[in-house]
Structure 1
Amino acid sequence: MLKALLVDDEPFILQGLQLLIDWDKAGFEVHTASNGEEAYEYLQSNSVDLIIADIKMPVMTGLELLKKIREELNLDTYFIILSGYAEFEYARQALHYHCTDYILKPVEKDQLKSLLKKITDLAQQKTSKEKNGIKREKALMERTLMHLLSGKYDVNDLEYIEDKVPVDDEKCYVEIQLNDSGCLEECSDEDKRTRLDKIYQAVIDYLKQDAMYCIRDVSDNSQIYDIGFVYSSFMAQKIKSTREDYLRGFYNYIVSNTNLSITMLVGKMVSGIRNVSKSYGTANMLRSLQGFRAKKDIYFYEEEYKVNEAGLVICKKQLDMLINAIETGEHVNIRKCVDDFYEEMQKMGVTGSTIDLNVNYLLFQLIHLASELDSEVNQEEILRIISESTSEEDISRSSKTHLCRMAYAYSEYLCQLRKNVSCSVLVKIEDEIKKNYSSNLTLKDLSEKYYVNSAYLGQLFRKKCGCSFKDYLNRTRIEAAAKLLRKTDMKVYEIAESVGYKDADYFVNKFIEAKGCTPTKYKKNIG
């Protein structure tokens, strides 16, 4: 609803204007002022969409009010001059200050209605134009930020960004990701997008005017659902806070407003916008290393990559031997190499952060091995899932036991890659879905049945079928349901149960998404 301010020094005229039409029905909330000065004071702390002011008033005239709000308050509010004087000079002065219209007393009902309709149309056009402008600006900012994150920017990108953000501020890239990767493997693409929509809206609400530094779907990998954010030190300074406290408040706001579990990956702080690509790279490193870190809500690069006073020490010999054992699938040798690595670390008297750095070296080498065998899937994400799936509550993620279990699992995964399981296994799984779609099929159960890593199987499925396992299963069930609707007299709830849906309402929703109508209407249309 739009807001209107009526300004006149004669009370009966104000009352007459209020009673002349149904303002609420016309889409306006009405406020009044007895002269220009009173209106000016009101406008200093309140916003309105329309001002209708008498041209002749004591203290401050309507023309003086119009001039002051344009020159001093810089308001583009719609303004209508009301006067009993049909003189061109008044109209000329009013138009000079962008008066919307000029009407004479007494005001007629139809004339006022027509005028308010004009204001409503202008306001809608203005709002639409502003929204389109904001969308274009947001799209341009996202494109520029993507260029900066990739390190492939030009002088035009820098010139654009310099007008929007303090370019020399300290900055870092922050990735916001959904938790529970095992559960997400079973989710449909639509479910993931819905969850990400909720998170994105919470992010926008929290950042307010800083939302321009937020990007949805930063990764060009279709299997990753992420939200990126370029943090600048001025954001925390505005509320006299530290980066850590600012991001903690950010995290808590998202979780409390979405009821979803998320993780933040905070890249390295860098100086200036030109170096933000370095921070982006370190955040990507954190993503793949989560499986070897204690579970946290927020991972800060500086905390995860601390180097002790002894400096950087890599036990390359022992790690290369372990990598070779993993690659060849020798379980006994894997265990021996893990023992040798920890024994060497103990001899050197280093623990904690130095061990982490050695594990980082190991993980990057393993990712490289897998990428050589299949470069089209997200190997970092698979490594993270394998690392997390081989840890238990009573086992530290960076312990010898965890490293050994992960090495066994990753060795088996490399073996699957070498055998190129994608063709034979996917044919079997597609055939099983066609025969058993009404059963409680899950990606996890199928991965165990066919001895394929579930994360890898999910990505193989998407690569071949162009959608997630869950979406493919839903599609198969809906097509089977449509066939039953065409050829049988079964009830909707009976069909839902027969194709694998325990919840009839959920089935109806999925059917509408796929066919554009309810099952009942579908049956009626083909009848």
Structure 2
Amino acid sequence: MKLQVMLVDDEQYVRKGLLGLIDWESLGYCVSHEADNGKDALRIITSRPSEVDVVITDIRMPVMDGLKLIEEVKLRNLSSCKFIILSGYNDFSYAQSAIRFGVSDYILKPIEEEDLEETLRQLALQIKQERLQKAISGRLTLKGLFEQLSRGELAAKAVMELDERVRLSKGTVLRYGIVEMNRGLSEESDVTDYLIKDDVSVVADALQTLIDVPSDFVVQLRNHQCAFLISSDALKLYGGSYERFGSALQTLLAKRLTAGVTLYFGTSVKEMKALSESIQTANELLQYKYVKGMKDVLFYETASKTKLSYAEPEVSLFHRIQEAVEEQETEKIKTTIATLFAEIETKSLAKDAIRTIINRYVHRIVGTLQGMQGPIDLLVNLKPMLSWDAQPLSFSQLQHLFISFMIESSRMMEQLRGEQTKGSIHKIKSYIERHYQENINLKSIAAEFYMNPVYVGQLFKKTYGQYFNEFLLSIRIGEAKKLLRQTDLRIYEIAEKVGFNNADYFVAQFEKMEDMPPSEYRKKLLTKQGGHSHENTTIPTK
């Protein structure tokens, strides 16, 4: 491909003279553009930078001179084109400015053909060398490509380049794998710093010990995971069996890393172009980490036969855990959490579903502590609990961390209650929130907590800024509104569900709080919904 030149001079005969003076084609050039001032030249470079490799320009021109043109292109980084100045002025200040802007050459008029041709030859070699260097530096190593592909960055481009650069023998099958180190929490290091510096080297050495896997195809994936790529050609010692090889690799890594190790193998593919499928399925396997019966070596073809669940445990189970935490019942905390984790395991919950459940439990407890003005930043287990999904924890390690967090939170609640004169008022509030559907009143709750009902009422108002009856009514009406929105239950059925024995009294209290009866509240929602539905299905006309 020829280098493209733009001639810039306000005198047309000079431009035409240059066209005839130089044998552009033999030097590897072609004149693609002409301009009679710097402003027009700048417009061409700005709009079509790839069409200009070399600019040969005069200095003194109307509208915009040559030096200003060069300055604008350089300062605004518009193009990497090279500049040659042709000038009839032997002025040192011009030459000095040209040097400052990195001009390739400064040639005085009248132009000597040999001088300009030699300058063009040298410039062509320089441009070629620079482009070659840029291509080399921009070409990622195999390791860089594999790492880029593993992280999901420019996946299609990385696969294409790997396919071009890696030649596979006929019948070769590829499989992408992930090594996960389950070391648990380290008290001495930051909670996200789990990948020991030499882990990648240990994995690479282990693969080299067992089979011949180039180190280019072993990379760090996440802070406790490595990724690798193996081909069926390398498994001759294992009879071509990925299962036998996986078992040997897991045993060796567990020994060398002194940690629990889980291997995840994506589906096998027959060409490099399909590698993204193996990577995707290996990452999907991570969702099976806590499914009961899964081994330390997982293969997508086998594991995916188990259907993952995203169902949540019964709400009552959470209430039991929260109650045990608030009542400082350590053994009850342990047993109810054991029940929760047993349910998680037997239901084959996906890791994402477990994260949602655990995080919801944690945030509810944290919310309770914050409501008690507790210094939650002093909770040692809070930080690892909030980021547990990014930590290399086994199922038992996760359960242990969850129990530790709940017991620590329970002790903080106990300490807060001991420091405050509010006694059991927070427990009473939680009791109301859990039992609002029942026939409860201030007297019955005070008796439940062995407290004076008058004192409870005063303390409740002082603590929460609401009288007991107002708080209970707001919860019941709030739940009633939810049932009106989400169900087609009759008004009297809703009244019973939220703790009202008398439907007429419920309607009166609802209207008092919401300025409309329950039936009108529901009708208003249905009207609004109908209006939106109509809007969405209306076809605009011209």
Q: Per chain length, whose mean CA-contact separation is higher, i.e. which structure has more relative contact order (CA < 8 Å, sep 6+)? A: 1
- Shared topology, TM-score over 0.5? no
Length-normalised TM-score, structure 1: 0.35
